[in-house]
Structure 1
Amino acid sequence: MNTTPASPSRADRPGGTPVRIGVLAPLSPPGWAEAGRHLLAGMELAVGEVNDADGIAGRPLELVVRDTAADPHRAAAAMDELAGLGVAAVAGEYHSVVARAAAARADALGLPFLCSSAVLDALTEGPTDWVARLPPAQSHGWRIYGDFLLGAGHRRVAVATQPSVYWASGTAVLRDHLAPHGGTVTAFDMSALTVAELCDALVAHRATALLLLVGHPEPAGPIVRAVRADRRLATVLIGAPAGQPELPGWAASLGDDGAAVPFLRYLPEQLTPLGARVRTALGERLADAPSFVAFEGHDTIAVLAEALRSHGTDRADIARSWAKVEVEGTRGPIRFTRTPGIGVWQWVWAPVQVVDRDPAAPERFRVLHTG
């Protein structure tokens, strides 16, 4: 765990007592550390921009970063610690189950929490004014993925899954969406099957698509390699709606096998002028093409900075600002509303695409479907 200054100090930047924002991100295994790195990079870039523009009423903005390592208990403990440190609000987290634990503590502590990148519909047990969220709810994005599958002619869908509320929720969304169109979704528990047994089951099931509702790099990588190598499954589409192929580590570990695996990405077909500028700056910071997660990080800080400037640093006032704040984000105008079935303040909706890596050039993405 560490406290991370947002950016190098400069003589012309704001002075005084910093306004501190807590950050939760998976920065070490078994968390998806690559996603955490992109999330944090976007936040740090935005904090630097805020401080270049006189900070928060002349006070510098500072991030207090805590590594969740994809552990819900660690995230809940971090929320307690950050509340004690006097942060004005907490932001971040990529893993949905971890964000749910953080949101529960935020509600109990009266600590504003802006969820940057986790999509589980039931982020809280009931309605709360303390939590807001940028990414679209899983039921929204995964139904769009279901539309893509139907449009591509896939009715016999298999999912390789692991025990998790998030994976179970995604399976249910897909099953409910495909069923009225004659589609079926059959789940194969990878805690009980070998990769070879999964391949045999796909043949027996006559699946036309296999979705990876599992962790990366294990067991997603071995599953992809095995299915690609099995001639019986040459025509089976491999998909990963949770977005595993978005980050460079996927292509680095799987090479050509990792191409043509459609996934959900929360970017518009055309970035705003702000988004285009941020994309360039993020590319320099990351030395990689920025993922949608990095843009989510940047937008998170932009929202919180506007809330702090317009409503002050009192926690209750920040929570009340969700209904009023409007920000021009990297992916479009951001405002929060109450949405049926969602217990938190929600941006309705971030843009949604289904994309894959181009087999002819795996560093390039192809847009296959938009929602």
Structure 2
Amino acid sequence: MSDKNIILKAENISKQYRLGVVGTGTISHDLNRWWHKVRGKEDPYLKLGEVNDRTKKADSDYVWAIKDINFEVERGEVLGIIGKNGAGKSTLLKILSKVTSPTTGVIKSRGRIASLLEVGTGFNPELTGRENIYLNGAILGMTKKEITSKLDEIIEFSGCERYIDTPTKRYSSGMTVRLGFAVAAFLEPEILVVDEVLAVGDAEFQKKAIGKMQSISKNEGRTVLFVSHNMAAVKSLCTKGIVLEHGKVVFSSDAESAVNYYLEKESFEKVIYKKEELDQLYSSDKIVINQLELCSDNFFSIENKTFVKINYDVLSDLSAFNFSLVLKDFNDIFILNSISDVENIKVGNYDALFEIPENFLNDLKYKLRLIFVNQSKILIDLDDVFSWSAVETEERKMNWFGKIGGVVRPELKWMINKLR
């Protein structure tokens, strides 16, 4: 790395796995690889393997979890890594953290790397919280004196002071991630790698953790690599972003542009699901959904109603049955949960219709979650089953002189009377 400001560089990073077995392959494959290496020839299995698409049936024993990934991170930058589940984010972070090695390519870094990839990463469950702080510090290459100087700050930030001398096997997952993050953040690594583990913590801790990551990047000049499905957190925390799709980098830019690109790609175009597709999304021995449709009177215009139509079969009599309709924006901000009346229903075929009123949504993208509930127990949960853009007409846009803020924009009743 010739540029002194670049602290981490990934060059043509790829990781190949063999499907259906424990380990990377068989003895015969390992011998074959060794024989090719001795003769100075290319690994024969690098030519094999399919793209990392979990929705398709594999025709090969090999798959590329990530393929030909290149990027650079400068000192003090916060890089957001985003993508769908299975896109290769965690595999990339494990390689960057040296938990596993790449099949091809090289990672170049300057300074210590601290990783928080899973709850309790690097913790010995038999040791107390205090002992694990010293253990993790030693792994990072810090002296006992350095760790002791930070000990009180770590314990205070974690909020686990009462249990700090208790074995961590008795900690809850939230307590474990609190302490793990505090250790990783306060022992001053040059590069901090954080996976989705912050989702385990409560809202108060998530706010503290994001604030700490902002502080160590802006004020202390350290580098953070951050993976999250919370797009609002990525926008507020990160300075740069890369989008992974099927194990490849498909977009790299500033954080806001990366999030917008990802959300555009994630926008579902499907407005009708047939039974064959729905069978892959859920299973229930009490209800079968025959068709699920999202529609509007006029291309999802804000000025028109939006409808959710469901045709389903009830296979056995159900008591205390109802639907729950959850509306979210694309940052997963919860907007509303509309719950139908609770009723007893008999075996048979049913149509259901939900209506989102006109002049309620804003000029934004929305996601819909549909839940079937029986006696307060969830039978079917279709999360993000639909997403769409509510469209503002050009004529109305001209009246507002620009975009209006807010996740919804309901038409309220105004009563204005002239008094004089």
TM-score, structure 1 as length reference: 0.28
TM-score, structure 2 as length reference: 0.25
RCO (CA 8 Å, sep 6+): is it higher in 1 or 2? 1
> Larger C-alpha radius of gyration, 1 or 2?
2
Answer 1 or 2: which has greater strand percent: 2
